[in-house]
Amino acid sequence: MNPLNVLLRLTTRLKTSHGLKLLITLTILLVLALTLYTLNFELPESIVNITNGSFSSTQEPTKIKTTTTEEYQDGVLSPYQSIINLLSPETIEKYDIQLAQTYEVAEYENQESSDKLGKFIKEHLIAWLKETKPGIKTINDVPHYKHENKFKVEWNKKIPVLDGKLREDSINDPIRTKEYLSSFLQINQDEFQELQKSHATFSSHVTDYLGDETSSQEIQFQGDGILYVGGGKFNWLVLLSLKQLRNLGSIVPVEVFIPIKDERKSSGFCEELFPKFNAKCIFMSQYFPSDEREFINNVSNGYQYKSLALFVSSFERVLMLDSDNFALTNPDLFFVNEPFKSHHFLIWPDFWRRSVSPSFYELAGIEVSSTEKVRDSYRDGRGHTENLKTEQEVFEKVSYHDLKGTIPEASSEAGQLLVNKKVHLKSILMSVYYNFNGPKFYYPLLAQGQAGEGDKDTFIAAAHYWNLPYYQIGEYVREFGDPRDTKKFQESGEIDFEINAMGQYDPILDYLQSLEPEKFKSDFPYDSKKNNYYMHKYKESKVGLLHTNLPKLYPWELLRNSQVRTILDVDGNKKRLYTLLQEELGYDMELQIWEIMQSFLCDYGSIFPETSEAGVNRFSEILSKLFRGPRFKLEDACKTVSEQVEFLKSNTQFPVQEEAVEETEQADIV
């Protein structure tokens, strides 16, 4: 144990007054400092502020590294270029289709903007959030859901999960009309008026502060970058995702947001591991005053951290990834190409249709047409308006989110989003408001209890409220996981997965195909009465991101016998986590993920190259703070991962030829 910790624990056990305790503590610190000075010993860059128990960083502002313009390999660009070659000349000219092939990261300091941002949060944002806190307890409880309902409900009276996913348009699912979506969450007139007043007041503060502008001189951001929310065990997942980014050739800098409660245990990652991948930590305590305990307690849910992280990140254009999200395509290209160049905000779909309550649009003052339909989200003809003559008929028969003024299908999945904060500053501030009041008010308004209720729809709702541009990836999200009935899957190919990972598609390919949708339309034989797992919206879609949301990739926690979400089946035999992932990608990404884990847990010398023994001890010490304390053993974790790697190699559809491996090794030596 650290000698300083031992001495501090002894002082707290002394039966002394508070003043004497403090004197003893300061004396110990002085003696320790003199000793370290004598030994010419360097203190770590982050220290614990003993007097108030909070973590503070003493390190100098990190300077983002300069990277020269880099040409991307033809192989990376060829999927995009092949689609462009198929577009008509008129389309290419109309949309000014030019594929950006280079990317440059500039050098800059962000301390000045960071200080201004902290000042804005303390002087404005927190005050706005306090002032607009609704004066009602909650609407997210069973009494607020209709008990007598002609529609099917869950046991808690909330909206049920669809029989099939959006891509399937199952005939068994009712059309999500305004009547249907009004039949679950119920709020009375007093509650409606309180929420309406709160929403209007917060948005007026934003408008008064920014005026008609989308940016502010006081709130400045700069450059492009990737953002994670880390802290605690999530730091391990961030490390894996970071390694994959750099393996792909990504050169953009990275920031990792650390919540206050996790700052102490994150010092090893923040000072020694993340910087090796050009990533730095941004600490929540740097921006939010410690005396605002009410505020801190209100954002203690993991979902709520993401909007705060997005706001305080120093980057102007940000790709925010969940810690368990792996890029499969170099995402640097997303920043410099369409659709991001013109839409400034990209968001990816969830499996399900939207379940936003009509009450949200009404209290937010978003005008929704009662009759004008602008989309046809049902492919089988349901919900079309050709023969409907009255508002009541539209109310009962037309998909609500096909009407003008609503947010388009599908519901959002916020494991990844790409946003230009200069254009969307109002949206980000509004998303902070929605998430601050999320669990009690806006999560039920935006999801009504549907699977995945949380922050996921708050970002697009905020952009939609301000009528700012955004682009939803049209290709359907793809699930990968364990068959619930392995025998049936093997015999008939019937697909019914426990969802372990979500494949999200490349936005550049999606956009290019959307310009001439009929030309690229999937030729899969759609049938609303059957499973449509293999159906894509477009022929040339390609998975660009893999969100490995369940189970989390802590390998030592996956060693239990189960049919689902472990690496062992009910009989204790090894198995894969992501069935059909190889078939979709054309390579074995699951194996690559486990090899990344192996590179950290077994080849730790590459992280701490000074000495192998020192590397083992230090890396083990850092991980032990996150995983079960002293019971965590690095050698056991290495063994678990290595065994899974060998299993995956034994049944991969894409074995690596030994000759190719030897050639690569020789090239590395040269």
> How many other C-beta atoms are found inside a 10 Å radius of the C-beta of residue 579?
20
Q: What is the DSSP string of 401-464?
A: GGBTTSPPSS-EEEEEEEEETTTSHHHHHHHHHHHHTIIIIIHHHHHTT-TT-SGGGHHHHHHH
Both structure tokens of 547: 């969100």
pLDDT tens track for 83-138: 999 999 999 988 888 888 767 776 555 666 678 888 899 899 999 999 999 999 99
In the chain, the number of structural domains is: 2
Is residue 52 very low, low, confident or very high in pLDDT (cuts 50, 70, 90)? very low
Q: Quick check: 62 pLDDT over 80?
A: no
3-state secondary structure 148-216: CCCCCCCCCCCCCCCCCCCCCCCCCCCCCEHHHHCCCECCCHHHHHHHHHHHHHHHHHHHHHHCCCCCC
pLDDT at 50: 21
Residues 195 and 202 sit within 8 Å (Cβ to Cβ): no
Decide if pLDDT at 518 tops 90: yes
How far is residue 403's CA from residue 365's CA, in Å, rounded to a whole number? 16
Burial label, 414 (beta-carbon count in 10 A; 0-12, 13-18, 19+): buried
State both tokens at 436: 């601050």
241 has pLDDT over 90: yes
Amino acid at 21: K
- From 65, 77, 79, select the one nearest 102 (Cα to Cα): 77
Indicate the average pLDDT of the chain. Answer: 81
Q: What was the pLDDT predicted at 256?
A: 97
In terms of pLDDT, which residue wins out, 366 or 302?
366
Confidence (pLDDT) at 486? 63
Give residue 631's pLDDT: 62
Please give the pLDDT value at position 106.
Answer: 60
Residue 384 pLDDT exceeds 50: yes
Is 206 inside any structural domain? no
| pLDDT band, residue 419 (cuts 50/70/90) | very high
Predicted local confidence at residue 368, as pLDDT? 97
Tell me whether residue 626 is in a domain: yes
Range of the domain at 24: 3-43
Give, in order, the Cα–Cα distances in Å from 620 to each of 552, 603, 634. Answer: 20, 12, 6
For residue 492, is pLDDT > 80? no
Q: Which tokens sit at 514?
A: 């959307």
Domain assignment present for residue 137? The answer is no
Q: Answer whether residue 450 shows pLDDT above 70.
A: yes
Tell me the pLDDT band of 668, cut-offs 50, 70 and 90.
very low
Tokens 């808690």 correspond to 156
The verdict on residue 611 lying in a domain is yes
- Looking at residue 669, what is its pLDDT? 40
pTM, two decimals, is 0.85
435 assigned to some structural domain: no
Quick check: helix, strand or coil at residue 355?
A: coil
pLDDT given at position 209? 93
pLDDT at 132 (0 to 100)? 96
pLDDT for residue 255 is more than 70: yes
What does the pLDDT average to over 30-45? 38
Is the pLDDT reported for residue 28 higher than 50?
no
Q: Are 241 and 269 in contact (CB under 8 A)?
A: no
Instruction: Say which residue, 618 or 93, is predicted with more confidence.
Output: 93
Q: Are 587 and 546 in contact (CB under 8 A)?
A: no
CA angle 667, 668, 670 (to 5 degrees): 65
pLDDT higher at 366 or 298: 366
Asked whether the beta carbons of 28 and 69 are under 8 A apart, the reply is no
> What pLDDT sits at residue 288?
85
- Rounded to an integer, the average pLDDT of 587-614 is 79
Lowest mean pLDDT among 49-58, 164-173, 214-223, 630-639: 49-58
How would DSSP label each residue in 219-257? S---SEEEEEE--TTHHHHHHHHHHHHHHTT--S-EEEE
- Cα–Cα dist 314/219, whole Å: 10
Q: How would you class 557 by CB atoms within 10 Å of its CB: exposed for 0-12, middle for 13-18, buried for 19 or more?
A: middle
| Per-residue model confidence (pLDDT) at position 219 | 80
Residue 535 lies in a domain: yes
How many angstroms separate the Cα of 388 from the Cα of each of 401, 403, 404, 527? 17, 14, 16, 25
Pick the residue with more confidence: 488 or 365? 365
452-484 pLDDT, tens digit per residue, is 788 999 999 999 999 999 999 999 999 998 876
pLDDT in tens, 261-309: 899 889 999 998 999 899 999 999 888 877 887 777 777 777 789 999 9
Query: What would the mean pLDDT of 62-84 be, rounded to a whole number?
Result: 58
Q: Phi first, then psi: give them for residue 382, nearest 5 degrees.
A: -70, 145
pLDDT digits 0-9 by tens, 162-183: 766 788 777 878 899 999 999 9
What is the rounded CA–CA span in Å between residue 615 and residue 600? 11
656 found inside a domain: yes
Q: Is residue 523 part of a domain?
A: yes
Per-residue pLDDT averaged across 381-410, rounded?
A: 86
Provide the pLDDT for residue 525.
Answer: 81
Peptide bond into 551 cis (omega under 30): yes
- Identify the pLDDT of residue 408: 95
Contact 402, 436 (CB under 8 A): no
The answer, yes or no, to whether residue 225 has pLDDT greater than 80, is yes
Q: What percent of the chain has pLDDT over 70?
A: 78
Q: Give the residues across from 70 on adjacent strands.
A: 103
Residue pair 521/540 in contact (Cβ under 8 Å)? The answer is no
Q: b/e map of 158-187 (b: 16 or more CB within 10 Å)?
A: bbbbbebbbbbbbeebebbbbbbbebbbbb
Express each pLDDT in 564-579 by its tens digit: 688 888 888 888 999 8
Q: Which two tokens stand for residue 656?
A: 């690596």
Closest-CA residue to 527 (of 172, 177, 151): 172
Q: Is the peptide bond before 259 cis (omega within 30 degrees of 0)?
A: no
